[in-house]
Amino acid sequence: MLLAVCAGVYYSFFAPAALPVRSEVSSVPTASPSALPASNEPAPDPKLLAECRFNYAQGLMYLEKKNYKEAKTYLSGVLPLDAEHYSDAQAKLADCNSTIIKDYLNQGQALIDKTFYLKASNLLDQALKEFPDNKELITLKNNAAHLAAALVKYEGPVYHVFFHSLIVYPELCFTGDGMEQGYNDWMTTVREFKLMLQEMYDRGYTLIDLRDMFSTDAAGKVVQNDIMLPKGKKPLIISVDDVSYYKYMEKDGFAEKLVLDDKGEVATLVKTPQGNEIVTRDGDVVPILDDFVKENPDFSYKGAKGILAITGYEGILGYRTIHNNPDWEKEQAKVQPVVDKLKATGWAFACHSFTHRRSYSERTITLGYLKYDMERWLKEVGSIVGPTNLYIAPFGASFPQEDERLKYIVSKGFHVYCGVGSRPYYHVYGNNVFMERIDLDGYKMVHSPEVMKELFNVEKVYDPARPPMLDKKKP
Ligand SMILES: [Zn+2]
């Protein structure tokens, strides 16, 4: 009680009647209560005391919620005149500060691990405003600033590689039926994908976000942005086509859909050869790549993952969201959280046409049909995945610059147009970019292994579970 009385005099002299908490009170100089006269002082201002008690209770409430910043603000407003709570508030305040510092350090380190050096540096600058003398914060801040300054402009080739849904069970896929050849040509197995990732990582490749490579200026012209990477790193873009888990693939050893697992992460629903449905992180590119980046954060620059190039005619990601399905709204409600999680974890979406018509590959598709197809994609797929400027052409079909069909696609906001090829190549044409992608599948591994020699050793990754590649002619 002694403390309260003494300090009460001191504070009631300075503090306005209407209170406080925040900086004005916490900036009041701390009195040394023991130096003040010990007796015959008036009782503390009841209004002020009530405020202190209120602040203390609020502080505890925010501590309970683990909101340390708010707790800190309120606990700072518990003044020595509230003798009952003051020393406890001070102790809790110290705990808050060390938790907040720890949190800054963890966040800063996580950003550095994900190669967000500048972001980390800025965050730690902010932390140092609050805790200017903390040595650990100073060290980490210097580290982040050093790494940010060490980024170099990358000037070499940019590989964009792509996959289809991965073969999880080769024994269900390669059964000698009519589908076998197609799967053998155009698909990649889980085993191959994992080996490819490891070797590309070992060779210094790091994922970048294609959306960061180009921007458009006010006049609609595409501007190429510098690729800044840690020294020695080479950029890599990965895309995955379709990701629809089409009905024709059922029972052939692929995943059935993307789902959220019990930790809320994107996983795959897979049917085992024994017929059991399981949720696994090993069923397709998305969870495998997510896990690989988690283990090797420097495989992804600024948290980039891959691009999902999706069609719409059987819905998306294994959900039958096509509006012809009477249950499409229910399916859309189910897929939306998966889409949101993908976007929040570095994945991008591209338009891969709605119908994936054969006439794209033959380039006989009419402008009228293309418009119909695009409108349906925007309505039934774009409405779920959100806006994108990435177009990944079905069958890799490309059109000359002066072709009305290309002009139409670009006019719908798709400034980055990806085809299929055999080299790391892109070219900026005024208001659009054309980029080649290399398919890392059975066909390419058998017929053109040399195009992958910079990425990995084909002999090391090729899956022995594949049947012999009999037909060496492209179908
Ligand atoms: Zn496709």
Task: Let me know if residue 467 belongs to a domain.
Answer: no
Cα of 310 vs centre of ligand 1, distance in Å, is 8
CATH label of the domain that carries residue 191? 3.20.20.370
Taking phi first (over 0 means left), then psi (-120 to 50 degrees means alpha), and beta for anything else, what does residue 64 get? alpha
For residue 470, is it within any domain? no
475 found inside a domain = no
**Ligand 1 centre from 239 Cα, in Å?**
11
Instruction: Enter the DSSP assignment of 316.
Output: B
* Ligand 1 centroid – CA 163 distance (Å): 10
Q: Is the pTM of this model over 0.85?
A: no
- Do 78 and 164 lie in a common domain? no
Ligand 1 centroid to Cα of residue 379, in Å, is 19
Q: Are residue 218 and residue 248 in the same domain, yes or no? A: yes
Going residue by residue through the chain, which has 475 residues, state the pLDDT in tens, using 9 for 90 and above: 333 333 333 333 333 333 445 444 444 444 444 444 455 667 888 899 999 999 999 999 999 999 999 999 999 999 999 999 999 999 999 999 999 999 999 999 999 888 888 899 999 999 999 999 999 999 999 999 988 888 899 999 999 999 999 999 999 999 999 999 999 999 999 999 999 999 999 999 999 999 999 999 999 999 999 999 988 999 999 999 999 999 999 999 999 999 999 999 999 999 999 999 999 999 999 999 999 999 999 999 989 999 999 999 999 999 999 999 999 999 999 999 999 999 999 999 999 999 999 999 888 999 999 999 999 999 999 999 999 999 999 999 999 999 999 999 999 999 999 999 999 999 999 999 999 999 999 999 999 999 999 999 999 999 999 998 765 544 3
CB contact at 8 A, 172 and 273? yes
Contact (CB, 8 A) for 439 and 162: yes
Give the distance (Å) from ligand 1 centre to CA of residue 242: 5
Which of 96, 119, 151 is the last residue in one of the domains?
A: 151
What pairing do the DSSP bridges indicate for beta strands 255-260 and 234-242? unpaired
Distance from the alpha carbon of residue 244 to the mean position of ligand 1, in angstroms: 10
- Rounded to an integer, what distance in angstroms lies between the CA atom of residue 374 and that of residue 362? 18
Residue 334 lies in a domain: yes
Spacing, Cα 394 to ligand 1 middle (Å): 5
For residue 207, report the distance from its CA to the centre of ligand 1, in Å: 22
Cα(364) to centroid of ligand 1, in Å?
A: 17
Q: Are residues 339 and 231 in the same domain?
A: yes
Residue 136, Cβ density class (10 Å: 0-12 exposed, 13-18 middle, ≥19 buried):
middle
Question: Ligand 1 centre and the CA of 191: distance in Å?
Answer: 22
- Distance between Cα 317 and ligand 1 center (Å): 13
Task: Point out the domain boundary residue: 105, 133, 151.
Answer: 151
State the residue range of the domain holding 196. Answer: 153-461
Q: How far apart are CA 169 and CA 253, in angstroms?
A: 5
Token digits of residue 264: 């809320």
- Give the span between the Cα atoms of 125 and 82, in whole angstroms: 35
